[in-house]
Amino acid sequence: MNIGVGLPTTTPGADGGLVVEWAQRADAGPFSSLAVLDRFAYESLEPFTALAAAAGVTARVRLATMIAVAPLRPAALLAKEAASLHALSRGRLTLGLAIGARIEDYEAAGVEHRGRGRRFSEQLAYFRGRVDEERVGPSRQGIELLVGGASGPAFARMARYSDGYAHGGGPPRAFAGAAQRAEAAWRDFDRPGRPRLWGQGYFALGDTERGNAYLRDYYAFTGPFAERVVTANLTSPRAVRDFIRGYEEAGCDELVLFPTVSDAAELDRLAEALAG
Amino acid sequence: MNVTVVGGGPAGLYLAILLRKANPTVDVRVLERNAPDATFGWGVVFSEETLGALRDADLETYVAITDTFARWDRLEIRYRNRVLRSRGHSFSAIARRRLLEILQQRCRALGARLDFGHEIETVPTDADLVVAADGVNSVVRRASERDFGTKVEPEGCKYVWFGTPLVFDAFTFIFRETEYGLFHVHAYPFDDRTSTFIVECPESTWRAAGLDELDEEESLAFCERLFARDLEGRELLSNRSIWLSFPKVTNDTWHRARVVLMGDAAHTAHFSIGSGTKLAMEDAIALRDAFVRRAWDVDSALVDYELERQPVVERTQQAASESAAYFARVRSYTRLAPIQFAFNLLTRSGRISHASLAVRDPAFTRTLDSWLAATSARVAPPPAFAAFTLRGLELDNRIVARADEEAVSGAGLVLSGFVAVSPAGRITRETPTIEEWMPRMRPVLLQLSHAGPRGACLPRGLGADLPLPDGWELVAASPLAYGPFSAVPRELDVDGMAAVRDEFVTGARRATELGVDVLELDFGHGYLLASFISPLRNQRSDEYGSERLRFPLEVLDAVRRAWEGPLSVRLSITDWARGGLSIDDGVAVARVLVEHGCDVVHAVAGQTIHDDRPEYRRGFLTALSDRVRTEARIPILVGGHLTTLDDVSTIVGSGRADLCILDLPSADVEQEVAAAPDSPARQVAHT
């Protein structure tokens, strides 16, 4: 299993300086990917823009969206953005897409919330299928495409159009259950091989209270669920290692750990936890 | 800190005990609307596992409870003049009244205040924590059901809860067929004088028998007469015993501010798996643990409690719902042989498998295995390895492998994968046609198909239903594009249908030449023949629209005449979409297939339309397979992501399917390790 790290783009105080420094250090560290979240109606950096900045200062790590809320963007624009990022990073993009969980994002973006599932399917069909549409270059060939979501139709979309599954987070047992559903859907669509499986979690190894406060705020829209996310925040090296072991046993291919505090020292703490 | 517990049942009393014991400075008051000795229901059941948790939580109550326990490890199924026994199930039961006495006594000893005859109308506000342990109709929960996200839905059969002075010596299931339908009983002893005796039947049976119009006394007399033989002439005892529907209670969240739900107020689980009291008392333990862990901080303790309990309870509720649904349709299983009927009952909720029963009760699985292998030998292979005969074809075992699996040797049957009847019927340019296809392994099932509206696509390595930029003309029942950017197919006319039918017949003849073992016609997953069957895809105005099965049956009949071997039909049992085929429709189609000479149905589901609503998980097709096999009475081949031989043995042994597609995950048990240059192994190798 590979271990990736999140780029601080949604945590309070994340600015251009930190994003660039973080990306450089992650590229030099033990991480295989750098990933971003996507939140429209929130104090946060736009995912493709942030990854483009990271692409400019990195050479090795994969760059991933975990996930981008696809229906907020027109299909062709999304394809163009992703393809450009893939070209800028010299083929390092993993594009995770889903419909997201917040109606506020759709409202703020001025996009109809109803019918988002159907539109997302069309976007995926466009992204993967309309490769002959050469007016919208550069080439999308070789972009690793993941789909997230927890419903039956989400797993069907994943199996029909993508290369794998982007899990939304939770304990290893929840991931294992989702992985089985992903594999069941993959088989049902007669896809060769097996789906790539990406997981994610949060960590705060320094100022844990600050990290927890951010999660409480970020997940306030979920009501009582926010406290669950806070409880799951990995706040000790041992918790990080247990979490990694659990995901590895559940068959995860790439686990991305997202920071909850805008502090570059968190990267070192995470690297130490991995080494220990 | 002061805690008000509303409800003096097992959940509330046990929590009072555990809180007082953990921290004597916590003031605990229990409000109970009834008198101390008023109780409803007869006995309650515990498993060994629950007992262990109770022992660790409070030894005194554990000792008092187990002193008065009725224990047994046998389960008895009375079915069609047979009695089937299974051992190793380790259950205990206690009179509910006795359990409450013990808990009340222990509460008093620990200084919890018990306030009987105290009925509340509003949620108490004078406490640091209010615990809603006031049961399925919880007053506290009802005050804020919107906040809790409460759902209450009836599930399963009509039931009535009696006692009887007959002491059963096992957990006993009794099935009794009547002119009105099937009645069944769950009976178990709970002390040395009395047993619980629950009678159940589907609502239609209940009405047919006129039970909806009988009063308490009359319906008791009805049940006494119906089960006179099993009651050995003893009477049934009533305790407000009236017919009820079981309410399944779920809540999105179990706490709100300083109010927390537990036991039946938070969740119910159908009584047929006997887990209600167990869950309630485990809730109390978890809540106590959360308070201790969180140093009596109410907010974080309630989050902890809910986090820990919700997933556990959800799994139990899922199993309970499957058990309730099983008993609601149990009559359809009464054609099963007694030993298989019994195994099907034991495995109904997915908590017991063939392998786990083989540990508890090897004699039982051995009997089942011998029966399934149709042998009188005392040693038989487990169901996955039982031979199977399909229209004269002998298969070594029940395991079916996909041809793309790296290693499929050992499987009873190998699937060819999609083979097109013609170039126009291919899915992708790479799809083999019957002209080119050669069997690689034997015995082989040839899936003969025509992609119809799902044709002319890019390779499945990229994805499914991605149209080729320069594809070929598509055909279908009606001119409806399959997915985004898919071409609109041409509506097949009568000549076109005749041509396709002839292609299938030619394919069948070719299959005979190639020595194919099983031929399969593909009526599934939205391909050409499936497009005729579903009302969502067939909007024709001719007789092929008014009789949607007409063209697929013409193909089936023509192929049946040309092919003498075993014939399978791959069928989407349901469209998983509004306005599409329901499971009942799928069963009806399967019945017609049987009449037209189909030997086995390969059960799949969905993909009829692009935007369906599938439910994926391990074994997601098993319930559909079970319905079709039981109701259409035809052998079933099923997949649905079965990953272990135990899955196969459990499904085949319980009669839910006959052949199972096994998706083996890659094994990483054994790995080659390069020997170090100076290792002894290396030196030995050199000498």
Structural domain boundaries in chain A:
2-275
Choose among A122, A181, A191: nearest Cβ to B617. A181
Q: Looking at residue B676, what is its pLDDT?
A: 63
Q: Name B135's Cβ contacts closer than 8 Å, sequence gap at least 6.
A: B7, B9, B263, B264, B265
**Residue B400 within any structural domain of the chain:** yes
Q: Looking at residue B35, what is its pLDDT?
A: 87
Among A104-113, A222-231, B147-156, B288-297, which is the least confidently predicted range?
A222-231
Whether pLDDT at B151 is above 60: yes
More confident residue, B678 or A63: A63
Q: Could you tell me which residues of chain A have a Cβ less than 8 Å from any Cβ in chain B?
A: 117-118, 121-122, 125-126, 128-132, 151-153, 155-156, 159-162, 173, 177, 180-185, 187-192, 223-224, 227-228, 231
Three-state secondary structure of B38-82? CCCCCEEEEEHHHHHHHHHHCHHHHHHHHHCCEEECCEEEEECCE
More confident residue, A222 or B370: B370
Residues of B in contact with A180 (CB under 8 A): 617-618, 641
Q: Looking at residue B92, what is its pLDDT?
A: 86
Do residue A129 and residue B417 have CB atoms under 8 angstroms apart? no
Do residue A161 and residue B460 have CB atoms under 8 angstroms apart? no
Same domain, B380 and B484: no
Q: Can you read off the two tokens belonging to residue A108?
A: 């703020």
Closest-CA distance of chain A to residue B602, Å: 13
Do residue B612 and residue A153 have CB atoms under 8 angstroms apart? yes
Whether pLDDT at A57 is above 50: yes
Render pLDDT for B239-260 as a digit per residue (tens, 0 to 9).
Answer: 888 999 999 999 999 999 899 9
Q: Looking at residue A132, what is its pLDDT?
A: 65
Q: Can you read off the two tokens belonging to residue B506?
A: 């030619």
Question: Could you tell me the CATH number of the domain that includes residue B7?
Answer: 3.50.50.60
- Cα separation, A247 vs A229, in Å, equals 17
Q: Has B527 been annotated as catalytic?
A: yes
Same domain, B572 and B423: yes
Residue for token pair 């769950």: B186
State the pTM of this model: 0.90
Render pLDDT for B162-178 as a digit per residue (tens, 0 to 9).
Answer: 999 999 989 999 999 99
3-state secondary structure of B563: coil
**Largest Cα span, chain A:** 51
Q: Which of A200, A276, A202, A268 is nearest to A235 (CA)?
A: A202
Q: Name B364's Cβ contacts closer than 8 Å, sequence gap at least 6.
A: B85, B86, B87, B342, B343, B357
Q: Can you read off the two tokens belonging to residue B489?
A: 């197919």
Q: How many CB atoms lie within 10 A of CB B398?
A: 28
Same domain, B306 and B382: no
Interface test with B, best of A145, A157, A160, A215 (most B CBs within 10 A): A160
The whole-number average pLDDT for the span A161-180 is: 95
**Residue B336 within any structural domain of the chain:** no
Q: Could you tell me what percent of chain B has a pLDDT over 90?
A: 79
Q: How far is CA B306 from CA A208, B133, B671, in A?
A: 22, 15, 42
Render pLDDT for B381-400 as a digit per residue (tens, 0 to 9).
Answer: 999 999 999 999 999 999 99
Residues of A in contact with B460 (CB under 8 A): 189-192
- Which residues span the domain enclosing B371? 353-386
- Cα separation, A258 vs A39, in Å, equals 14
Choose among A162, A180, A228: nearest Cβ to B617. A180
Same domain, B44 and B69: yes
Whether pLDDT at B158 is above 60: yes
Written as one letter, the residue type at B600 is V
Choose among A117, A159, A187: nearest Cβ to B663. A187
More confident residue, B507 or A139: B507
Same domain, B220 and B281: yes
Same domain, B484 and B607: yes
Which chain A residue lies closest to B459 (C-alpha atoms)?
A: A191
DSSP string over B275-302: -HHHHHHHHHHHHHHHHHHTTT-HHHHH
**Residue B348 within any structural domain of the chain:** no
Whether pLDDT at A131 is above 80: no
Residues of B in contact with A75 (CB under 8 A): none
Assembly ipTM: 0.94
Same domain, B458 and B590: yes
* Active-site residue identified among B326, B527, B544, B616: B527
Render pLDDT for B62-96 as a digit per residue (tens, 0 to 9).
Answer: 999 888 888 888 999 998 889 999 998 888 889 88
Q: Looking at residue B678, what is its pLDDT?
A: 59
**Residue B342 within any structural domain of the chain:** no
Q: Does the A2-275 domain belong in CATH 3.20.20.30? A: yes
Same domain, B432 and B548: yes
- For B82, list phi and psi in degrees, rounded to 5: -125, 155
Whether pLDDT at B407 is above 60: no
DSSP B19: H
Whether pLDDT at B686 is above 60: no
The whole-number average pLDDT for the span A7-23 is: 95
CA B485 to the chain's CA centroid: 38
DSSP string over A236-263: SHHHHHHHHHHHHHTT-SEEEEEESS--
- Cα separation, B428 vs B139, in Å, equals 61
Do residue A180 and residue B465 have CB atoms under 8 angstroms apart? no
- Cα separation, A213 vs A234, in Å, equals 14
Same domain, B312 and B366: no
The whole-number average pLDDT for the span A180-184 is: 96
Same domain, B364 and B493: no
Same domain, B136 and B275: yes
Same domain, B142 and B95: yes
Domain count within chain B = 3
Do residue B485 and residue A130 have CB atoms under 8 angstroms apart? yes
Render pLDDT for A242-254 as a digit per residue (tens, 0 to 9).
Answer: 999 999 999 999 9
Whether pLDDT at B681 is above 70: no
Choose among A121, A177, A192: nearest Cβ to B484. A121
Q: Looking at residue B685, what is its pLDDT?
A: 45
Residues of B in contact with A159 (CB under 8 A): 464
Question: Could you tell me the CATH number of the domain that includes residue B514?
Answer: 3.20.20.70
Interface test with A, best of B144, B616, B663 (most A CBs within 10 A): B616
Q: Could you tell me what percent of chain B has a pLDDT over 70?
A: 96
- Cα separation, B687 vs B678, in Å, equals 13
DSSP string over B398-462: SEEEETTSS--TT-SEEEEEEEESSGGG-SBTTSPBTTT----SSSEEEEEE--GGG-SB--TTT
The whole-number average pLDDT for the span B570-588 is: 97
Which chain A residue lies closest to B469 (C-alpha atoms)?
A: A132
Helices B362-372, B645-653: axis angle to 10 degrees equals 70
Residues of B in contact with A139 (CB under 8 A): none
State which of B386, B410, B431 marks the end of a domain. B386
Closest-CA distance of chain A to residue B561, Å: 31
* Residue B668 binned pLDDT confidence (cut-offs 50, 70, 90): low
- Cα separation, A263 vs A256, in Å, equals 17
- Rounded to the nearest integer, the mean pLDDT of chain B is 92
**Residue B680 within any structural domain of the chain:** no
**Residue B206 within any structural domain of the chain:** yes
Render pLDDT for B607-627 as a digit per residue (tens, 0 to 9).
Answer: 999 999 999 999 999 999 999
Closest-CA distance of chain A to residue B429, Å: 15
